[in-house]
Amino acid sequence: MKNLSRVQLAEELYKVQDQIEELKKSADKLLKELRKRQQQED
């Protein structure tokens, strides 16, 4: 990895954090769907 300035590093960090938040939201949606399906099967 090439040497990034602190500002660039901070920007990359914010991007990664945003992606993590999006993944969490997606995971929550998937979990809710799975629970719905399991309840329907019972």
Domain hosting 16: range is 1-42
What are 8-33's pLDDT values in tens digits? 999 999 999 999 999 999 999 999 99
Secondary-structure breakdown of the chain: helix, strand, coil percentages, each rounded to the nearest 5? 85, 0, 15
Which of 41 and 33 is assigned the larger pLDDT? Answer: 33
Q: How many domains does the chain have?
A: 1
pTM: 0.66
In the chain, the amino acid numbered 34 is: L
The pLDDT value recorded for residue 3 is: 81
Instruction: Report whether pLDDT(40) > 70.
Output: yes
- The arithmetic mean of pLDDT across residues 36-42, rounded, is 91
CB-based burial, 14-36: b 16+ in 10 Å, e otherwise: eeeeeeeeeeeeeeeeeeeeeee
Q: What whole-number distance in Å separates Cα of residue 13 and Cα of residue 35?
A: 33
Residue 4: what pLDDT? Answer: 80
